[in-house]
Amino acid sequence: MKGTQYSARNPDAQGHIHYPPEEHQIWSELVARQQQHLPGRACDAYLDGLERLALPSDRIPQLAEVDRVLMECTGWQTAQVPALISFERFFELLASKRFPVATFIRSREEFDYLQEPDIFHEIFGHCPLLTNPAFAHFTHTYGKLGLAATPQQRVYLARLYWFTVEFGLVQSSEGLRIYGGGILSSPGETQYALSGQPKLQPMDPLEAMRTPYRIDIMQPVYFVLEQIDQLYELAQMDLMALVDQAMALGLREPLFPPKQQAS
């Protein structure tokens, strides 16, 4: 696991995390910028969750504020974690209905993009959907499967997570919409995802598990749900049997060039 320049901030004895004013300002600017791109692009379940969470726009929220809403809606809560955690810890948390949130925010120098998931990505990108029962159930199921899986199986499960929770699209009566938090926390990807440029495929978990991805580029392909409640159906499938099938079949050819190695 690679290192990170970031350190998560720890709560005080009362459970309150103190952020300096400049970090609250970064949160405020990130929220204001991304909210401009959500109308007509974010799915209704996400927008409903965002309204329920009522995230502050002028400061980084405390996790307890988010937890109160999530617990009421779906029985979930957040879990404060360091900047990077192991796969084992990640699956443990999801299996216990706790969504990991690294309590740091990106620097001004990485305002547009950073590889590590910061508190803006986790809270603004993912937590609104955790108020939705179908999304919450799928994420919980995924955590339980991942916890029991082998390291090799987890690699294939990770692709399913990538093409649903992180970079999923969904059909609606108004047209194609976004539910993936990796898209909804990125203004560039929010615009790109519905631009007609990327390839779109109906959600097929076996195909998703066999599709390579890179974290540092715009996605060349997205998988599309028929509706957000299709996540219930995915959670009821024998996903580990599909993992084994995907492992036997192997990966599809990547739709992107190989990453350039630094010389």
Catalytic, 92? Answer no
Tell me which of 23, 92, 122, 166 is the catalytic residue.
166
* Region for 131 from its dihedrals, namely left if φ exceeds 0, alpha if ψ lies in -120 to 50, beta otherwise: alpha
- Element (DSSP H or E) covering residue 91: helix 87-95
Any catalytic annotation for residue 185? yes
* Residues, the chain: 263
- Residue list for the binding site: 121, 126, 166
Contact criterion met (CB below 8 Å) for 208 and 223: yes
Active-site entry in 23, 92, 122, 126: 126
Tokens of 25: 């300002």
Summarize pLDDT for 225-243 with one digit per residue, the tens.
999 999 999 999 999 999 9
Can you tell me the distance from the alpha carbon of 59 to that of 43, in angstroms, rounded to the nearest whole number?
A: 25
Sign of CA dihedral 217, 231, 72, 82: negative
What are the backbone dihedrals phi and psi of residue 242, each rounded to the nearest 5 degrees, phi first?
Answer: -70, -35
- One digit per residue, pLDDT tens: the chain, 263 residues? 456 889 999 999 999 999 999 999 999 999 999 999 999 999 999 999 999 999 999 999 999 999 999 999 999 999 999 888 999 999 999 999 999 999 999 999 999 988 889 999 999 999 999 999 999 999 999 999 999 999 999 999 999 999 999 999 999 999 999 999 999 999 999 999 999 999 999 999 999 999 999 999 999 999 999 999 999 999 999 999 999 999 999 999 999 988 765 43
From the candidates 23, 37, 92, 121, which is the catalytic residue? 121
Listed residue (144, 90, 153, 154) closest to 117, CA to CA: 90
Whole-number Å distance between alpha carbons of 183 and 126: 10
Q: Name the pTM for this structure.
A: 0.95
Tell me if residue 166 is catalytic: yes
Are 179 and 169 contacting, i.e. CB atoms less than 8 angstroms apart? yes
Decide if 18 is catalytic.
no
Q: Could you give all domains of the chain from N- to C-terminal order, each with its CATH number?
A: 21-249 (1.10.800.10)
List, for residues 53-94, the tens digit of each pLDDT value: 999 999 999 999 999 999 999 999 999 998 889 999 999 999
Query: How many of the other CB atoms lie within 10 Å of CB of 137?
Result: 18
